[in-house]
A and B are shown apart, each in its own frame.
Chain A
Amino acid sequence: MRRANPAAFSMHTIAAGRPAARHHIAISRWAVTAFAVAAFVLVPIATIALIAIADTGTLWSHVLVHVLPQSAWNTLVLLTGTGIVAVAVGTGAAWLVSAYDFRGRGVVEWALLLPLAVPTYIMAYAYLDILSPLGPLQGAIRWVLGFDSPRDFRLPDIRSMWAAVLIFGSVLYPYVYLTARVMFVSQSANLLEAARTLGVGRAQLFWRVALPLARPAIAVGAALALMEVLNDVGAAQFLGIRTLTASVYTTWVVRADLAGAAQIAVSMLVFVMALVLLERLARRNQRYASSAQRPRPMPPQRLRGWREAIALGLGVLPVVVGFVGPATYLVISAAKRLDFAGLSPALLRATLNTVSVSALATLVVLLAGFAVAYAARLQPGRATGLAARVATLGYAVPGTVLAIGILIPVAAFDRSVDGFMRSSFGWSTGLLLLGSGGALVYAYAARFLAISVGGIESGLSRLPLSYDQAARTLGQGPGGTLVHVHLPLTRTALTAAGLLVFVDCMKELPATLLLRPLNFESLATLLYGEAVRGTYEDAAIAALLIVAIGILPVILLARTGRLSRD
């Protein structure tokens, strides 16, 4: 239930390239810290691998024959469909706002990012209601057509693969939009003009020049969007799609077979690794492509009359489906609830819990991410590079699986501390991490470290090493260089990473469900609990809060996007 980090990737695309010189510093404190961080991330992943090796007797053959083919096929169809929708909408929208000018373009340009604020599970939950035969839309259609009852006329049920594809596609396209737009904007006008001189029309320009050039960027965006699909639990469950993630749940819970679940999880990692690989390959090309001098941007074509109206309509449509629709629904339901029962103390507590744990986790993630990225800068080499890659692995592991991988070592730690204190001092500490929310901080950190490492790495890579050398010549030690040069200059990258991590922590569901202490609800678990018992009392307000806070980084993204344009 998290969102990947588009900012980090868009930053990569505008990064000026890595510092050229190598720089060796005797102290390796940073490197040691980086390894420690990597080890912390590796622990849960190793735990899952160990569980998967355990003997499951005859069960594996059942899973292999009856569960995996079906759910792998469903997952594949869902991924392909969502990929197509996200790429088509994302690329199309990006070309629309880059190649053409029309009234309202300035607003459409940033509004197209808004669906990023809506988690997939909230999207599915909202559309199940909006599009139900009892919902407002079908009611209006029946009224227009003169039917009294849904028994006489109704649209096909949305609990289906095609609806899942549309729902996922319409909230996940911004990943593609974001990366493709940066690419279109920075494509050299010279190239496009050369093509035009050779007699290529504007439409053909897209297909023959701009699109092929933007392909790596689109692949990056698509890979991010697809990771989101693999991570989703709630939406697929609401829509009745048996994905691999759903099979992990069933195997573990219904058949009480953790080892079998871990095995499915490990086979899932193959999917994820393939996506990660794809994204990396694409990014390699992209860096090459974007390391050229800042090009003169292509001047957009001014549209008028009906063409302008169509352009505006096409630009607004994804925003309406992916944001305005669900947001309006949530506002109306939340208002009804507030009217009926007011703001419940449980909701306030959940908000406080969510904000405090997310803020703490964000701090940890930023510090750890900075250590890893900084070590790679001070001592570039295979070891620190490896630490950085390992530190970002947690991002590729679905939250459900990571949660179990964290539960077991963390509980073992808690137990041994408690046992030691009891036997030595006759005093029980209880569960130090699981009982305090510390386990949540660990889970969030392991999961979202990739966002801060990626963002800070690209932030640091824009600072030439000559800055370091100048600072040292002027008498600053490594600490002084850090405080007076690097930190101030990476402030923007740190803020962007921090905001994205914060929002991701806030939305996180599966790990929070398993690892939270007694009497502790976050906004996401509150929403989930109510959905489970089917009361939806405070759920709409909780969902609205999640979406509202999720808009913050979207605004930031929109601003940095504009900056890169100026």
Chain B
Amino acid sequence: MIKIAKTFGLATLLALSAAVPALAEEVNIYTTREPGLIQPILDAFTTETGITVNTVFLENGLIERVQAEGESSPADILMTVDFGALIDLVNAGVTQPVESAVLEGAIPASLRDPAGNWFALSGRARVVYAAKDLDLSAITYEELSDEKWRGKLCIRSGQHPYNTAMIAAHMAKHGEADTRTWLEGLKANQARAAAGGDRDGARDIAAGICDIAVANSYYFGLMSSGKGGDEQKAWSDAVKVILPTFEGGGTLVNVSGAAVAAHAPNRDEAVQLLEYLASEAAQKLYAEANFEHPVNAAAEVHPIIAALGTLTPDSQPLTEVLPFRKRASELVDEISFDTFSN
């Protein structure tokens, strides 16, 4: 009885999912990045090539799902935010090398795997939002732990990849002991629980909860351009963006990127899509629609982002930061960074 019901139901579902044309060319993306923001770029690809792009947003468990699906996996492209997550894909063995002169020409060597297992597609700076009337024009990441910011800093969960990457970068430069002290200072400076997203930093500055907030650069563009609605425009109007640097270094720039799945059924289309995403046209869309930093030198950043000042990316390669990521995440637990007690 149950079996019959299950089979029957399955047939219905299969019929429903058959709405996707099976014969047309297609490419399937599994992504830890919410695809809403890059949808315009994917739509442009479909218009240009006629290849349908299917996506599924798997915030948690992308690797487990691809591994479990094995050779039957429909995934062609795996897309992530955060450099560490990109390398996790490679280490989990769910990617395959791609050799493409187009990709090599479009993406600088430091932003792709020499073996072709991953490619960065956009950059995002970890910056500081400050209350507009605050007398502050420059700050270092190290200074975020200063006593003068006691109870005045807003930051999201220390376990979020954007923050773990920042803590790991600090550790790569200053060592574990210094980083622990620094992180404890950051915790003491929290104005509220380390929760929510990066935009909440701007909102909470507007709400008078904090004076400074740590957030990614493109969120400012999204809010300030009015794309997030009037309410968010008002948040961004309350803040100014400061590009922080590490002492004697530059600004931390993390990446979003993609890889071709090990068992990609549509490998050619997958490479074609990657090449498109790295092309000047798509990179312009990354900058215009999403306010990220293009990896292709032919495309320029959005004027809103360019107006924030000249970005000097930190010279320390992300590959050198990577080994400290696990320890950074553990430190966050050890000092209970995410438990608000101020």
Question: Which chain B positions have C-beta within 8 A of A437?
Answer: 13, 16-17
From A364, A432, A438, A519, B54 is in contact (CB under 8 Å) with A519
Binds A, one of B119-127, B204-212, B276-284: B204-212
Question: Which chain A positions have C-beta within 8 A of B36?
Answer: 529-530, 533, 535
B1-56 residues with Cβ-Cβ distance < 8 A to A are: 1-2, 5-6, 9-10, 12-14, 16-17, 20, 28, 34, 36-37, 54-56
Task: Report how far A529 CA is from B36 CA in the complex, Å.
Answer: 8
Hey, what's the 0/1 contact readout for B319-333 against A, CB within 8 Å counting as 1? Answer: 000000010011001
From B10, B92, B207, A133 is in contact (CB under 8 Å) with B207
B133's nearest neighbour on chain A, judged by CB, is A151
* A66 x B333 contact (CB < 8 A): yes
* B12 x A517 contact (CB < 8 A): no
From A36, A252, A436, A529, B13 is in contact (CB under 8 Å) with A436
* A368 x B207 contact (CB < 8 A): no
B162-192 residues with Cβ-Cβ distance < 8 A to A are: 164, 191-192
Task: Report how far A254 CA is from B203 CA in the complex, Å.
Answer: 26
* A33 x B17 contact (CB < 8 A): no
B326's nearest neighbour on chain A, judged by CB, is A255
17 A–B pairs (Cβ distance < 8 Å), ordered by A: A33-B1, A154-B208, A159-B192, A160-B193, A240-B157, A242-B338, A250-B159, A252-B60, A371-B1, A404-B64, A408-B68, A414-B72, A436-B17, A441-B6, A518-B55, A534-B197, A535-B228
Question: Which chain A positions have C-beta within 8 A of B199?
Answer: 534
Task: Report how far A128 CA is from B2 CA in the complex, Å.
Answer: 43
Asked if B299 is an interface residue, CB under 8 A from chain A, the answer is: no
Task: Report how far A193 CA is from B154 CA in the complex, Å.
Answer: 59
B32's nearest neighbour on chain A, judged by CB, is A253
Asked if A324 is an interface residue, CB under 8 A from chain B, the answer is: no
* A240 x B71 contact (CB < 8 A): no
Shortest C-beta distance, B140 to chain A (Å), equals 25
Question: Which chain B positions have C-beta within 8 A of A411?
Answer: 65, 68-70, 72
Shortest C-beta distance, A419 to chain B (Å), equals 7
Asked if A500 is an interface residue, CB under 8 A from chain B, the answer is: no
Task: Report how far A148 CA is from B229 CA in the complex, Å.
Answer: 23
Asked if B59 is an interface residue, CB under 8 A from chain A, the answer is: yes
Binds B, one of A275-283, A305-313, A355-363, A553-561: A355-363
Q: Count residues of B near A (Cβ-Cβ below 8 Å).
A: 69
B70's nearest neighbour on chain A, judged by CB, is A415
* B13 x A514 contact (CB < 8 A): no
Question: Which chain B positions have C-beta within 8 A of A428?
Answer: 72
Task: Report how far A104 CA is from B73 CA in the complex, Å.
Answer: 59
From B57, B196, B207, A134 is in contact (CB under 8 Å) with B207
Question: Which chain A positions have C-beta within 8 A of B191?
Answer: 157
B36's nearest neighbour on chain A, judged by CB, is A533
Task: Report how far A412 CA is from B71 CA in the complex, Å.
Answer: 11
Asked if B248 is an interface residue, CB under 8 A from chain A, the answer is: no
From B2, B16, B37, B159, A533 is in contact (CB under 8 Å) with B37
Shortest C-beta distance, A29 to chain B (Å), equals 9
Question: Which chain A positions have C-beta within 8 A of B97?
Answer: none
* B9 x A363 contact (CB < 8 A): yes
Shortest C-beta distance, B2 to chain A (Å), equals 5
Asked if B61 is an interface residue, CB under 8 A from chain A, the answer is: yes
B235's nearest neighbour on chain A, judged by CB, is A134
Asked if B194 is an interface residue, CB under 8 A from chain A, the answer is: yes
* A407 x B64 contact (CB < 8 A): yes
* A404 x B61 contact (CB < 8 A): yes
* B72 x A364 contact (CB < 8 A): no
Question: Which chain A positions have C-beta within 8 A of B304?
Answer: none
7 shortest interchain CB distances as A-B pairs: A240-B193, A240-B195, A411-B68, A133-B207, A150-B208, A151-B208, A418-B72
Asked if A497 is an interface residue, CB under 8 A from chain B, the answer is: no
A390-417 residues with Cβ-Cβ distance < 8 A to B are: 403-404, 407-408, 411-412, 414-415
Question: Which chain B positions have C-beta within 8 A of A258?
Answer: 64
Q: Chain A CB within 10 Å — which of B63, B198, B207 has the most?
A: B207
Question: Which chain B positions have C-beta within 8 A of A132?
Answer: 203, 207
Task: Report how far A325 CA is from B13 CA in the complex, Å.
Answer: 38
Question: Which chain B positions have C-beta within 8 A of A33?
Answer: 1-2
From B64, B195, B206, B340, A237 is in contact (CB under 8 Å) with B195
* B195 x A238 contact (CB < 8 A): yes
* B9 x A514 contact (CB < 8 A): no
Task: Report how far A513 CA is from B164 CA in the complex, Å.
Answer: 24
Say whether, besides A74-B339, A157-B209, A415-B72, A518 and B28 are in contact (CB < 8 Å).
Answer: yes
Question: Which chain A positions have C-beta within 8 A of B330?
Answer: 62, 66, 255
Task: Report how far A59 CA is from B80 CA in the complex, Å.
Answer: 25
From A157, A238, A518, A533, B56 is in contact (CB under 8 Å) with A518
Shortest C-beta distance, B329 to chain A (Å), equals 5
* A240 x B194 contact (CB < 8 A): yes
Q: Chain A CB within 10 Å — which of B56, B60, B65, B338 has the most?
A: B60
B52-90 residues with Cβ-Cβ distance < 8 A to A are: 54-61, 63-65, 68-74, 88
Question: Which chain B positions have C-beta within 8 A of A249?
Answer: 60
Question: Which chain B positions have C-beta within 8 A of A253?
Answer: 60-61
* B34 x A529 contact (CB < 8 A): yes
A69's nearest neighbour on chain B, judged by CB, is B336
Question: Which chain B positions have C-beta within 8 A of A525?
Answer: 57
Question: Which chain B positions have C-beta within 8 A of A529?
Answer: 34, 36, 57
Question: Which chain A positions have C-beta within 8 A of B88?
Answer: 256
A70's nearest neighbour on chain B, judged by CB, is B336
Task: Report how far A151 CA is from B206 CA in the complex, Å.
Answer: 9
Question: Which chain A positions have C-beta within 8 A of B250?
Answer: none
* B195 x A37 contact (CB < 8 A): no
* A238 x B196 contact (CB < 8 A): yes
* A434 x B69 contact (CB < 8 A): yes
Task: Report how far A190 CA is from B57 CA in the complex, Å.
Answer: 61
* B2 x A367 contact (CB < 8 A): yes
